[in-house]
Structure 1
């Protein structure tokens, strides 16, 4: 089949949805499909993937503590988009986060083929989750032939006002690719106990909770360090906190590439996942499990889709900093980390894209 995957975000920027689309594209091609990706025309020269086609312009706006990309194709770019869809004559157009304005709606309007959407996002407020999201979903469902959600927790926000069938297909990770990128063993030279945080520097991702937990633990464990990968509007607050409290052994890496990400995960004793809310799944948890790094964080509704019973003692109630510190401290024990590492390596296998892509392919075959 000839398939278009529609991404509403800046494709040059790291992110869970982008990672999902790139991996799905790769594995659909391995099955034998011809796959092309449609994305906003932002920083196209920084995108390495060769099968991405860019349309429209983008503006990032802050809504509810996170950045939202707003993109639209106008004038000649709108004509180019219509021409592209007509010329390619896709068998299936597969949208990801379809309601991110406005490019996906334009593709939906101009495309004359079968339409599928995967819903990735969870609401950033109770009102949005209870009323806005299910109302929007019910309207959008009318235009879709099949509907996919990445988790049961995410699907609960879009199914409230509709009886449409929603297929639960989780996010995946490429275990072969991770095996190639990640070092086989920890080659770090220092003897510090390393905590690692990765994500956008914004309130809901919990970077300040990671810093505050580290500040408390550092007093009891002087040979502890914290590495932070990621960037965002919260960087100024992070730097100010480090300076105001004279915190030592905190390293700010900024955005890192895939190889560096897996090296840092492999080198770290514990991965910190203190996101407070707004997570639909938890790909980063899978990535950490795939390299055998134990995880401590907050048990938000999205992460609960991944957390097993054995992993529970590493996860605190969202926002409870004292519990988070206690969870991290529990995992300092080498035997405990070794057991969790072995457990994660085993449990992550079911999320391999080789398996997940076949579930998506089965939905394609249905229509």
Structure 2
């Protein structure tokens, strides 16, 4: 089976969870005997075309300047379409077009009709959920594109039951059109030996301090502002606690100001973007992971923390509740509640038996989310998409 995979982000371009999802899924599909072509955006220092672990990667340069983000999205979809034509000419017509989120909807829908092949769409989130409602003309436009993609796709894949319910309700979709296939993780990638003291030293963390890590795009939905409020409570009892925030985004400056205003400058470290190797080293050197999201369809970073052997605190929202079982392999905090979040962090700092139990159970849980099994489920969905495909 020849698969055309469309994603605006792909390693080393990592903005959110889509990048890792497409990376590992593509490799797992290749191991199942598929020919996978990923069409994505270019990245400095990376070739326009390469084959890596059997996956054909086509990186697209947007050759025209754009006046704003939305024009840029339309333009890169145009250049995606040009590359799709190249792929068809040189490799043959694909059997499936698989589009990830609204950003590649335009090229995915065009490819479906130009090539007369089934379209599968994975929804990793929705504009309504990310923005906590539709409040601007741009958010209404994105919501409309998402509806259009949900209409054109023969099968929709999503990453949690919570997300499935949201899609069916909001876009009025037939229940049998939406499949839940969880994200995965490769535990062996995180089972590495690191020099904890050296890594913590580079971060400015002393040997006796407790390192709390949180990873993600710095946007409102990720709840970092709630975590900072919680941290201001934690340090009253635990001045040995340090928080490291890994990632970047439009809220970073605001979060840095908030940390300063809360008197947390010496307790909080902002790393900005870090590459995968450094992220793994940080996770292996930390003591606790916190995922404080207000909206989280899945939360692949939580799985990565569990695979790294970290006791984890998550907001009891969305897909996080489906990954983490409270007081079995993690702790739940009330979403948006800094006191609840602080209480969970304090429990892990004070109860080493609890932290140890959650750590080992989390490692066992992470092994269930195997990408090879996920790829097999995706192939079943592709087969169903082929049976259902209709063209106007």
Q: Give the TM-score, by structure 1 length.
A: 0.85
Q: Give the equivalent residue in structure 2 for 1:25.
A: 26
Does residue 158 of structure 1 match 2:167?
Answer: yes
Q: Is the 8 A contact 1:201 1:235 kept in 2?
A: yes
Please report how far the alpha carbon of residue 73 of structure 1 lies from its aligned counterpart in structure 2 after TM superposition.
4.2
For structure 2, the 5+ residue unaligned runs are: 202-206, 387-392
State the match for 1:211 in structure 2: 228
- Paired position in structure 2 for 1:357: 375
CA distance in 1, matches of 2:242, 2:364: 28
Residues 101-112 of structure 1 correspond to what in structure 2 (within 5 A)? Answer: 102-112=106-116
Change in CA separation of 1:75 and 1:155 when aligned onto 2, cut-off 3 Å: closer
Deviation at 1:284, TM superposition (A): 0.9
Contact 1:133 1:157 in 2 (8 A): no
Partner of 1:4: 4
Q: How does 1:41-120 map to 2 (within 5 A)?
A: 41=42, 43=44, 45=46, 50=52, 51-55=56-60, 57=62, 70-73=73-76, 78-88=81-91, 89-98=93-102, 100=104, 102-120=106-124
Against the structure 1 CA distance between its residues 296 and 246, is the aligned structure 2 distance closer, same or farther, given a 3 Å change threshold?
A: closer
Task: Look up the match of 2:204.
Answer: none
Partner SS, residue 219 of structure 1: helix
Please tell me whether residue 327 in structure 1 is matched to residue 344 in structure 2: yes
- Asked whether the 8 Å contact 1:56–1:103 carries over to 2, the reply is no
- 1:183 is matched with which residue: 190, 193, 197? 193
1:8 touches 1:69 (CA, 8 Å); kept in 2? no
The Cα shift of 1:12 comes to 4.1
Is 1:302 equivalent to 2:313 in the alignment? no
Deviation of 1:290 after TM superposition, in Å, equals 0.7
Mapped partners of 2:326, 2:80: distance in 1: 50
Residues 125, 163 of structure 2: 8 Å contact kept: yes
**Residue in structure 2 matching 1:144, options 133, 143, 153:** 153
Match of 1:242 among 250, 253, 259: 259
* C-alpha contact 1:7 1:39 (8 A) present in aligned 2: yes
Aligned to 2:40: 39
Give the 3-state SS of the residue equivalent to 1:325 in structure 2: helix
Cα separation, partners in 2 of 1:235 and 1:309, compared to 1, 3 Å: closer
In 2 relative to 1, CA 318–311 (structure 1 residues): closer, same or farther, beyond 3 Å?
farther
1:311-343 deviation line (CA, Å, top 9, x unaligned)? 587222111111111111111111010000111
Q: Give me the whole-angstrom Cα distance separating, in 1, the residues matched to 2:160 and 2:330.
A: 22
User: Is 2:175 the partner of 1:169?
Assistant: no
More moved, 25-34 vs 241-250: 241-250
Number of equivalences: 359
* Matches of 1:111 and 1:167, distance apart in 2: 24
Deviates more, 1:330-339 or 1:137-146: 137-146
Conserved? CA contact 1:274–1:298, under 8 Å: yes
Alpha-carbon contact 1:170-1:356 (below 8 Å) kept: yes
Which is richer in helix? 2
Residue 177 of structure 2: SS of its match in structure 1?
Answer: coil
What stretches of structure 1 of length at least 5 have no aligned partner?
none
Write the deviation string for residues 176-225 of structure 1: whole angstroms up to 9, x where unpaired. 3233xx32785556111111111112222122222222222112212111
DSSP-derived class of the 1:280 partner:
coil
Please give the alpha-carbon distance, in whole angstroms, between the structure 2 residues aligned to 1:76 and 1:208: 37
Q: Please give the secondary structure, in 2, of the residue aligned with 1:351.
A: coil
CA RMSD after TM alignment: 3.2
Q: Separation in 2 of the partners of 1:269 and 1:60? A: 44
C-alpha contact (below 8 Å) 1:11/1:18 kept by paired residues? yes
Alignment correspondent of 1:253? 271
TM-score, normalised by the number of residues in structure 2 = 0.80
Paired with 1:320 and 1:345, the residues of 2 have a C-alpha distance of 27
Note the C-alpha offset of 1:13. Answer: 2.7
* 1:74, distance to aligned residue in structure 2 (A): 7.6
Task: Write the deviation string for residues 124-169 of structure 1: whole angstroms up to 9, x where unpaired.
Answer: 356559x999976664344333222211111112223122432211
